[in-house]
Amino acid sequence: MCQLLGMNCNVPTDICFSFEGFCARGGKTDDHKDGWGIAFFEGLGCRIFLDDNPSSSSPIAAFIRQYPIKSMNVIAHIRKATIGAVGLENSHPFRRELWGRYWVFAHNGDLPSLQYDHKGFYRPVGQTDSEQAFCLMLNYIRQQFPDGKPAIAELYAALQSITQKIAQHGIFNYLLSDGEHFFAHCSTKLCYIVRQAPFAAAHLIDEDITVDFQELTTSSDRVAVIATTSLTDNETWTVIKPGELLVFQDGQPLELGS
């Protein structure tokens, strides 16, 4: 299956360190060779890079690893194709506009029995079950709240409802963000870490690289990193429970119920 990487912060932060280890899993330390993508929210804008080549050898990925784009919300994905051919149209993350904001989505898992009738406002461009699920989610919440984005508790309840329905069709680990809130749903495997003061050094699992975050941060910084599996071997990552939908804002999960 694919792998997910996300970041939510209280100040604009670059993801170069985590992305370095994540990229290695796209053909070097793991076999997710069927494309990759990453999206950076910057204000109301969203900078997105996609490639249908392996991330470990992609020149575009090399550029991203070396270019410290700062963002408060980032979603990245490396693909192992199961449904849909290898191609840019099937590379995650996917992006759509809703309520005057960009929404970005990436999925890990298979939804073999999911049916999409192509009658909604949002329609998939590629052939993946992932993009179909994304369109179903946006169509649902657009119908529930036609006048604009509701309070986060209401939006969370609606997303939880459509997520549970889609998850009945298979494995539905996903990351979703509109640049203001960051949603992470675990179906089988997803974890996160919140880095805040006092900061320490972290060492990647997939590359022999260590970064001392104390040298790069201030005492008020807070960064949440979400991934399919932990990216470092000297930090304690929190495993998200199967069936749990978390909402992150300002680098930490919000308390909105289970």
What does the pLDDT look like over 215-234, one tens digit per residue?
777 778 999 999 998 889 88
Indicate whether this model's pTM tops 0.75.
yes
60, containing H or E segment: helix 59-66
Residues 72, 12 contacting (CB under 8 angstroms): yes
Task: Please give the pLDDT value at position 258.
Answer: 46
- pLDDT higher at 66 or 172: 172
Q: Is 2 a catalytic residue?
A: yes
DSSP state of 215: G
Residue ranges with strand state E in 117-251: 173-177, 182-185, 191-196, 201-203, 210-212, 222-227, 238-239, 245-249
> Which has the minimum average pLDDT: 33-37, 130-134, 150-154?
33-37
What does the pLDDT look like over 43-62, one tens digit per residue?
999 999 998 887 767 888 88
Average pLDDT, the chain: 89
- pLDDT higher at 53 or 250: 250
25 HSE (CA, 13 A, CB side): 24
Closest listed residue to residue 201, CA positions, set 235, 245, 241 = 235
As given in the structure block, the two tokens for residue 253 are: 């999960």
Q: What angle do CA 144, 147, 150 make, to 5 degrees?
A: 65
As given in the structure block, the two tokens for residue 100 are: 């005057």
Averaged pLDDT for residues 223-251: 94
Closest listed residue to residue 32, CA positions, set 244, 227, 241 = 227
> Which has the minimum average pLDDT: 6-20, 56-70, 90-104?
56-70
List beta partners, residue 46: 41
Contacts of 196 (CB under 8 A, 6+ apart): 221, 222, 223, 251
How far is C-alpha 178 from the chain's CA centre?
A: 11
